[in-house]
Amino acid sequence: MKGRAKSKLFSLVVSLVFTFMTLFSAASVYAEQTYGMVVFLKGSEFFNWSYGGMQDAAKLLGADIKTELRGPATWDASQEARAIEQLIAKGVDGIIVTAGDATTLNPAIDKAVAKGIPVITFDSDAPDSKRLSFAGTNNYEAGKVAGKAMVEWLNGEGEVGVSTFPGPNHLVERIRGFKDGLEGSNVKVVAECNDEGKVAAAEAAITAMLQAHPEIDAVFAAHGNPGPGAVAAVKNVGKEGEIEIMGFDFGMPVVEAIDKGQIRGTVGQNPYLMGYISMMMAWGANQETRVDGPHAPPSVNTGVRILTKDDIGVYKSPPAFVSGK
């Protein structure tokens, strides 16, 4: 009896040890990981689409993958840098960031990478940083698509005013591509105005530009905010229906203006895909593979297309994130 009791006890101990090891192994495999997204305009519909893509990718990867959204409610690259520093201090497993200003964010991005945290940039790159990869629009090509569309809209001849603001590299590239897209036609850029990245400032700046250059036939909004500002500016100078407006992205004010015929079309990026791909690459950088090193291309072009009234239905119900979790 004693031998049988010892045998049963031994079997029980072995079983418990095996169960504990199995549970410990599972806990290790499914240890919770956190990935942060940092944006320069929290609450923007564009970045909500991006965060929605990130969340969907995280759900696919597993219930142990958590995400959070950080960043200022107004365009401020220095606050973005602080948000990255906070995520580093928290010990997150990866950071996805859109650079409001590349130079300002480079030190914070490099610090994260030095701590072993993979950083993926999206939408607006920080090419001189040590980020792992960039997922987003090839902004030069996007501008070129916009330029070619503008040539078609104006039947190959006309004068264009551009609304933008200094700082972000992606805006510089868009305008360079836009101007190259006009080549071979008689459409040319005759003026550029500084909209400060704000709708209200865009209205004032574009109004002044149209007053100074009454020959302008069309306005190209190089980012999301000046489209609605251009609508108001055209009305201010009494030229509704006479000046073509090309928006950028599909924030609700732009969508509504397209629906009303005030904006002819907009350059539609794919922010959802940016967030989705960025999450996959950040997570993948933390996985062991047969070959050493993270496996991600230097950049992934998520593409653009010109959206008109027939294309904007899906964008009338953008995702919304209050807490960012």
pLDDT in tens, 86-116: 999 999 999 999 998 889 999 999 999 999 9
Which of the 8 DSSP states describes residue 301?
E
Asked if pLDDT for residue 324 goes beyond 80, the answer is: no
Q: What is the mean pLDDT of residues 218-224?
A: 96
Minimal CA–CA distance to 36: which of 93, 77, 108? 93
Helix (H) or strand (E) holding 152: helix 139-153
For the chain, give percent helix, strand, coil, nearest 5: 45, 20, 35
Give the 3-state secondary structure of residue 55: helix
* Contact in structure between 285 and 94 (CB atoms under 8 Å): yes
pLDDT category at 25 given cuts 50, 70, 90 is very low
Q: What is the mean pLDDT of residues 270-275?
A: 96
* Contact in structure between 51 and 66 (CB atoms under 8 Å): no
Give the domain 139-268 fold.
Rossmann fold (3.40.50)
Q: Specify the residue for token string 């993979």.
A: 118
CB atoms within 10 A of CB 36: 27
pLDDT at 190: 98
Q: What is the mean pLDDT of residues 216-238?
A: 96
What are 142-166's pLDDT values in tens digits? Answer: 999 999 999 999 999 999 999 999 9
Q: Specify the range with the lowest mean pLDDT, choosing from 70-74, 184-188, 239-243.
A: 70-74
Give the domain 32-136+271-302 fold.
Rossmann fold (3.40.50)
Beta strand pairing call for 244-248 and 218-221: parallel
pTM of the model: 0.76
Asked if pLDDT for residue 256 goes beyond 80, the answer is: yes
CB atoms within 10 A of CB 122: 32
Give the 3-state secondary structure of residue 31: coil
pLDDT at 234: 98
pLDDT at 281: 96
Helix axes 271-284, 45-61, angle to 10 degrees: 40
pLDDT category at 288 given cuts 50, 70, 90 is confident
Domain ranges of the chain: 32-136+271-302, 139-268
pLDDT category at 44 given cuts 50, 70, 90 is confident
CB atoms within 10 A of CB 286: 14
pLDDT category at 17 given cuts 50, 70, 90 is very low
Mean of pLDDT over the chain: 89
pLDDT at 296: 85
Which of the 8 DSSP states describes residue 251?
-
Can you list the positions of beta strands (E) in 71-172? Answer: 94-97, 119-122, 133-136, 157-164
pLDDT category at 29 given cuts 50, 70, 90 is low
Beta strand pairing call for 265-268 and 305-307: antiparallel
What are the φ and ψ backbone dihedral angles of 178, each rounded to 5 degrees? -60, -45
What are the φ and ψ backbone dihedral angles of 31, each rounded to 5 degrees? -60, 135
Can 32-136+271-302 and 139-268 be said to share one CATH topology? yes
What are the φ and ψ backbone dihedral angles of 222, each rounded to 5 degrees? -80, -5
